[in-house]
Every structure is written in structure tokens, then in C-alpha cells.
Structure 1
Amino acid sequence: MESITTSIPTILPSPAASLKAWARVGFASIGFVYLVLGVLATMAALGVRGSDTPNQQEVFQTIQHMPLGQVLLWLVAGGLLGYVAWRLAQALLDTERQGAAAKGLAFRGFYVFSGLLYAMLAFYAAKIAWYGRLPREDDASRSALRSVLHHEYGQELLALVGLVVLSAGAIQVYRAWSGKFDTDVQHSPFSYAQRRLVYRMGQVGYSARGVVLLIMGYFCFMAAQHANVNEIRDTEGCFQALEAMSPDVLGIVALGLVIYGVYMFIQARFPILRGL
């Protein structure tokens, strides 16, 4: 009996190992969401969907209509929470060793901001999975932003949100072209040619994601300047802005998001998770 009880701790995974596994599921969930989003946006650019650009709600609707769609939605929601847990570990445990100086705290604050965004996405996916259908659109997010504008410093707060999103977009583009992202995927399983391909995929994917965030941040900032919450644009509004430039521009960014989704699958399979 004693030998059995003493062997249990070695059988059960450690908290760090569990978090690593959960984070990997999170990377795969993000990859799946971006893959679906990119495919729908590519179809819009090609005219397959007419002029309808996809939004967040339609991405989950598409997943819901897949075989075992409800199960997939729950897996996506759970996986996104794994990504949130990893981001919070980066921020609170300082696994990236950013430190407590101003620059380090800024990066750790960004990890928290990123985690909160994906927590909201996980909640939305779980809500659809729970009801088994798309809940009636109540425009709660826009109502919340409208209440922010009614605050004494509402315009300043909304402008700050816009600047944070703009900064997040700029960071994505910077990571893409500085190669900073390349430290998140293992190189040893790949040949030189494969490493170069994965690197280029990361550059394209992060750039496309950065462009979408920059557009979102711009519209949010302008909404604060004009005190008009209706100027805020979600993913669909960003795609519409790109399509107004040219369907080719929309197509390039959409394909970039598809590539980003595939890149996240690669990161899920061969991650580098520091400090865990």
C-alpha cells in the first residue's frame, strides 16, 4: 500500500507540465479560429461570399456547423482559456524575465491585455456552445463602450484603449520584421529549408494580424476623438475598410491570417515555453 501511495506523485503531472499542455491546446485553438476567419475573409475577397466580410460571430457559427460543432466550440473555448492562463503566467510569474523596470512592466501589462482579450473570446465561444445556437445580438459591448463615453473622462479612456490596440498592432508588425517571434518555436525538428519556411510564415502571419489590430485601434481612437461609439469597428469593419481599398488588399491580409493560423498550429506542436 505504501509503495502505491508513494508512486502517485510521480504519475500525476506537475502544475507546470499541465500548464504547458494547456497552453499548447490554446495555441492550436487560436490557430483554428484564425484559420476559419482567414478562409472566410479570403472567400469574401474572391467574391464567393458576395461582399459579406466575416465577423467574430460568423467564425463561431461556421465552427458550430462543422461535424461535432458543439464539441469543437467547447474545445476552442477551453483551449483559449489555456492561452489566457499562459499569458497570465507570463505576466504574474515573469516567465519571460522582463523584470520590474518600466519597459518590463509594459510588456507584462501587454500579456495581461492579450489574455483578457482571449478570455472574452473564450466566453463568447462557450456562450454559443452552451445555448447550442447563436444568442440574440444585444450589442452589449457597444453599450458598454457607450457608457464609458458618458463617463467624465470617457473620451480619454476610449482613446487610451485605441492607443493600446494600436500599440499591440505595432508590436505584432515589429515582431514580424525583427524576427522576435522566432524564439517561440523549436528549430531542432526542422531542416534549414523548413526553418526558413516556418520563419516566413510567421512574418506574414504576424504582419497580417498586426494590420488588423492597427485598423481596429485607429477606428477606436477616432471614435474617442469624435465621441461617437458607432465609429468603432470590429473584425468585420476592418475587413470592410481593407476591401474599400481593394479586394486584392483584403485578399492579401486574409491569406496572411490563414498562414498565421497554420503557424499557430506549428507553435502548438513545437513550442518554446520559457520559465515553466
Structure 2
Amino acid sequence: MTGNPASQAARQAENSPVFRVLARLGYAVNGLLHVLIGIIGLTVALGSGGGESADQTGALGQLATNPAGRALLWVIVVGLFALGLWQVVAGFQVSNSDPKKAWGKRASEFGKAVAYFAVGATALTFALGGSKSSSDSSQSASATALATPGGVVAIVVVGLVVAGIGVFFVFRGVTRRFTKDLSLPSGAVGTAVVVVGAVGYIAKGIALAMVGVLFVVAAVTFDPAKATGMDGALKALAALPFGTVILIAVGVGLIAYGAYLAARARWGKL
């Protein structure tokens, strides 16, 4: 893989200082979005929310309400698309003596790229003055899928995959495997980054696992309204016994995950 033109172009791109700075910007703005999502989650838990969605669209919508925030949206667009391109480049740079492992790693990198591009496209919609609801999009897609042969199975598979990703996030937080992505300084700063990273990964994992569960429930009950993405997952947590306490913990954890991503923008390995 390392000798073909795509890999050579990817290697040249990786060596670009400007590209590296933009990729780090992507981590920083993604961290900002998670901080805003966590804050919205806290307002939902405390009953003081203004109706914003507790997900990326809610966070982006808040930024779009004032001129400074709208300008920041363009920074977010640039950062997320740059980070998505960085993941594509990383995918082409994967090399492994075991072809199956190599393709698995490439699929992971390309999957991250798709996720960053998707959020970047949503940010672009808001930057251009439009609006979007991820909950409505999830429900619409689920309704379409349920109306097609095999749609129930497809939604169950999607739900299980998302829940599995959530479990993986929790695993990385508990085991602190995420530290291999960082070149941390010693002392209190490095320790603080590891702590907020662990808390953040666990909280993000819980939220993603809930999203996956809701997709499975939507398929089993044949009710696309239950497939509501991150916003629905956090609000579902609030409806559980001691849900307010759980949602506050998850909201704080998402803010911690945002802080970790800011640290990764500074000390992450590229």
C-alpha cells in the first residue's frame, strides 16, 4: 500500500505543517461542540433548557444565534473538514503485514472521516443560515428503513453497532487506552488530561450506547420516533430512576470529553 500514488500523496499531505495545524483545529472545535452538548444536557437535567437539542445540531444552533457564533461556525467547518481529510490520509497510510488487520484499521479511519464530514456539513448548513435537526433526520431515516424489506434488521444492526461503539468508548475510558494517542507532559497537567479523558470517554460511551439501544427499540417496536439520536438518548436518561443525577453526570462527562479533545488538539499524536 505504501508504494502506490494514493499512499505517496497521503504521505506528502501528512508532512504539511498547515494541514497538521488544521487537523488539530478540528479536534479543538469538536471539543467545543462536546462542551456545548454537555451544557445543554445539564440544562435538560435541571429543567432549565430552552428547547435546544442536546446534540451537535443543538450546539451548532446555539452558535448560530449571534454574529460571533456564526463566524465561529466557519472555523468549525474548516476544522472538521480538515480533520476528516486527515483521517482519510491516515487510512491510506495504514500498513500491516496482516491484510485483514490493515483493512480493519483503514475502515476505522475512513469511518471517522465520514463522521467528521457529516458534522462539518451540518455546521456548514448553519453557517449558511439554514437549520437542521438530527433527531428529525434519524426518525425520517428510520421510518424509511422500516418501510422497506429487511429494514428492521438493518436498524437493529445499526443500533448494535452504535451501542458497540459506545461500549468501546467506555472500555477506552476505563483502561485509559486513549493515552496512546497523546504525547503528554509530565506532572499535574498530564495527570489532569488523563483524568478528564477517562471521565469523558466513559460519559460519551454511555450516551452512544443509549443511542444504539434506542435504535434497537425503534426497530423492535416498529416506532421510528424512538430513534432520536444523541438528543433522545440524553432525554431518555433523564426519564430513568435517578435519571436527573445520571444525566448531570453524563453532561459533566461530555464537558470533560470536550476538554480532553482540546488537550488532544495540543498534545495529540499526528
**What TM-score range do you get, normalising by the shorter chain?**
0.7 to 0.9
The answer to whether the 8 Å contact 2:138/2:228 transfers is no
Give the distance between the partners of 2:97 and 2:65, measured in 1 at CA. 42
Residues 73, 125 of structure 1: 8 Å contact kept: yes
Which residue does the alignment assign to 2:79?
79
Mapping for residues 46-125 of structure 1, pairs under 5 Å = 46-49=46-49, 54-94=54-94, 99-101=98-100, 103-125=101-123
TM-score (norm 1): 0.83
User: Which is worse superposed, 59-68 or 133-142?
Assistant: 133-142
Per-residue CA deviations over 1:159-187 (Å, capped at 9, x if unaligned) read: 11112111111111111112210011212
Q: What amino acid does structure 2 have at the position aligned with 1:70? A: R
Aligned equivalent of 2:227 = 232
Give the distance between the partners of 2:161 and 2:88, measured in 1 at CA. 18
Q: 1:173 aligns with which of 170, 179, 187?
A: 170
1:24/1:99 CA distance change after superposition, 3 Å: farther
Aligned-partner Cα distance in 1 for 2:63–2:97: 37
Q: What is the rounded CA distance, in whole Å, between the counterparts of 1:218 and 1:265 in structure 2?
A: 29
Relative distance call for 1:138 and 1:40 in structure 2 (3 A) is: closer
Q: CA deviation at 1:83?
A: 1.9
How many equivalent pairs are there?
255
Question: Normalized against structure 2, the TM-score is what?
Answer: 0.85
How many angstroms apart in 2 are the aligned matches of 1:212 and 1:242?
9
Question: In the aligned structure 1, how far is the partner of 2:209 from the partner of 2:197?
Answer: 18
Question: Deviation digits for residues 174-208 of structure 1, max 9, x if unmatched?
Answer: 11112210011212xx2322222111111001111
AA paired with 2:225?
N
Equivalent in the alignment of 1:213: 208
Aligned match of 2:13:
15
Give the equivalent residue in structure 2 for 1:199: 194
Where does the alignment leave 5 or more consecutive residues of structure 2 unmatched?
1-11
Q: Distance in 2 between matches of 1:259 and 1:270?
A: 16
2:237 corresponding residue in structure 1: 242
* Deviates further, 151-160 or 132-141: 132-141
Distance 2:123 2:29 in 1: 11
Report the alpha carbon displacement of residue 104 of structure 1 after superposing the two structures with TM.
Answer: 4.7
Residue in 2 aligned with 1:44?
Answer: 44
Which residue is 1:25 aligned to?
A: 25
Contact 2:19–2:82 under 8 Å retained in 1: yes
Aligned match of 1:158 = 155
Partners of 1:170 and 1:210 within 8 A in 2: yes
Residue identity over aligned pairs, in percent, reads 27
In structure 2, the CA distance between the partners of 1:208 and 1:137, relative to structure 1 (3 Å rule), is closer
Cα distance change on mapping 1:67 and 1:242 into 2, 3 Å: same
Bigger Rg, structure 1 or 2: 1
Q: For residue 152 of structure 1, report the CA deviation from its aligned partner.
A: 2.0
* Cα deviation digits, residues 34-68 of structure 1 (max 9, x gap): 01111121233233337876343321121123452
The match for 1:7 is none
| Equivalent-residue separation in structure 1 for 2:211 and 2:123 (angstroms) | 21
Counterpart Cα distance in 2 of 1:243 and 1:19: 41
